[in-house]
Amino acid sequence: MNKKVILNIIFSLIRMILFFGVAIWLNIETKNNADAVENLASVIFTTILILILLLLFNILATILNVYSEITNKKSYIIISLLALNIENLFFIKLNFYQKHNFMKWKTLDIAMIGLLLALFCSINLITDIIPPMPFFVTLSFKFLPLFFGAYILTFSQTTLLCFIAAIFTFIFPGTYKISFEQWLFDYFFTVFSPFIASCLKPIKNNKKIFETVDWLIFITVPLLMIYLSRVVAGALFWFENAWAGFGSWGYSLIFNSFNTIFDYILLIVLVPPMCITLDFIKYKMKSFHNNEILEDKSNIIKDKD
């Protein structure tokens, strides 16, 4: 085990111990405060949830650190920030001045965005007919076209796809009773969040554990953004439904954890097989772009001659 991995494990343990100590102190202080007894359950659940998330992200960051060659640098940076592993950023050498060749959008790209958008709208309308389960758990198949778009399209194309899909939710039946602010957090941000997955595309690797971590990051980061958006919406606009003994934030954290966990399991099961099975579409589009570039270069050479 190299020094980098040892340092990563040591710093991760220190962070977890410090946070656990602060969490215990906060719970004791809350329990001793007569005015805040009703929020005790909320504080306990919140600290446990944050502890689990930090533990998960630290484990992922440590697994990424085991490999001396970091192939997916964007995923490595984001997961390190989420795990509060600031020291990891000093372990990786990034070339910020590297020139990037931006691909021009072709008709095929626009057609693919339109196709995925149509699939999103169709799936969303169909699943809206199905009554929600307890805790508003729904079959969130609507995210599948967005994650597939994040896998095969560029960042700008994925951003446009998710933005238009998020705007379209305004005209869906489920939004006719809510205010603009409620729609913004409950629908717009939740549908727009998968755009970040385009920066976290899994990279094929001979080591399966590394590729598995890439897929987890690809799905986890957008789902975390979706969860936070739902929590804000629940705390700000649905606080009157809070259970006895719970504050609005604690109620929202617990209530929205059920449907988000269900969505997470659903996407973990479906997204990787879907993307791997339809991987040929990604390479067909890449081949199409490469042929277009070669044709453009040959035309330029002919014009010069």
Q: How far does the chain reach from its first CA to its final CA, in angstroms?
A: 59
What are the Cα distances from residue 153, in Å, to 65, 220, 252, 269?
28, 19, 34, 21
Q: Within 10 Å of residue 115's Cβ, how many Cβ atoms?
A: 12
Give the residue with greater pLDDT, 182 vs 267.
Answer: 267
**In this predicted structure, what is the pLDDT of residue 99?**
43
More confident of the two residues 190 and 284: 190
Confidence of residue 271 (pLDDT cuts 50, 70, 90): very high
pLDDT at residue 44, rounded to an integer: 59
What is the overall mean pLDDT for the chain? 72
Q: What is the pLDDT of residue 120?
A: 92
Q: Which of 35-49, 145-159, 181-195 has the highest mean pLDDT?
A: 145-159
Structure-model confidence comparison of residues 133 and 244, the more confident one: 133
Which domains are seen in the chain, by residue range?
A: 3-91 (no CATH), 107-298 (1.10.1760.20)
pLDDT of residue 21: 59
Extended beta strands in the chain, E state: none
Task: Indicate whether 129 pLDDT > 50.
Answer: yes
Quick one: pLDDT at residue 249? 74
Average pLDDT over residues 294-298: 53
Percent of the chain at pLDDT > 70 equals 56
pLDDT of residue 25: 55
pLDDT tens track for 8-48: 556 556 665 655 555 555 555 544 544 444 455 555 555 56
What is the four-CA torsion angle of 167, 173, 178, 180, rounded to 10 degrees?
20
Q: How far is CA 54 from CA 42, 51, 218, in A?
A: 18, 5, 17
Whether the CB-CB separation of 109 and 157 falls below 8 Å is answered with yes
Rounded CA gap, 111 and 235, in Å? 39
pLDDT confidence bin for 181, thresholds 50/70/90: confident
Q: Which of 8, 18, 102 has the alpha carbon at shortest distance from 59?
A: 8
Tens of pLDDT, residue by residue over 225-265, are 888 888 888 777 766 666 666 667 777 788 888 888 889 99
Give the pTM.
0.67
Q: Looking at residues 83-98, what average pLDDT do you find?
A: 51
Query: What pLDDT, on the 0 to 100 scale, is given for residue 224?
Result: 86
**Rounded to whole angstroms, what are the CA distances from 304 to 51, 92, 292, 301?**
64, 44, 19, 5
| pLDDT level of residue 4 (50, 70, 90 thresholds) | low
CB 147 within 8 A of CB 275: yes
CB 106 within 8 A of CB 289: yes
Report the alpha-carbon distance of residue 158 to residue 147 in Å, rounded: 9
Indicate the pLDDT class of residue 67, thresholds 50, 70 and 90.
low
Q: How confident is the model at residue 94 (pLDDT cuts 50, 70, 90)?
A: very low
Q: Map residue 133 onto helix, strand or coil.
A: strand
Q: What is the pLDDT of residue 119?
A: 93
* Dist CA 112 CA 156 (whole Å): 13
Is 260 within 8 Å of 226 (Cβ atoms)?
Answer: yes
- Determine what percent of the chain is predicted with pLDDT higher than 90: 15
Q: Phi-psi bin for 84: left (phi > 0), alpha (psi -120 to 50), beta?
A: left
Q: Which of 202, 198, 119, 107 is nearest to 157 (CA)?
A: 198
User: What was the pLDDT predicted at 189?
Assistant: 87
Dist. CA 296–CA 8, nearest whole Å: 48
Q: What is the pLDDT of residue 273?
A: 92
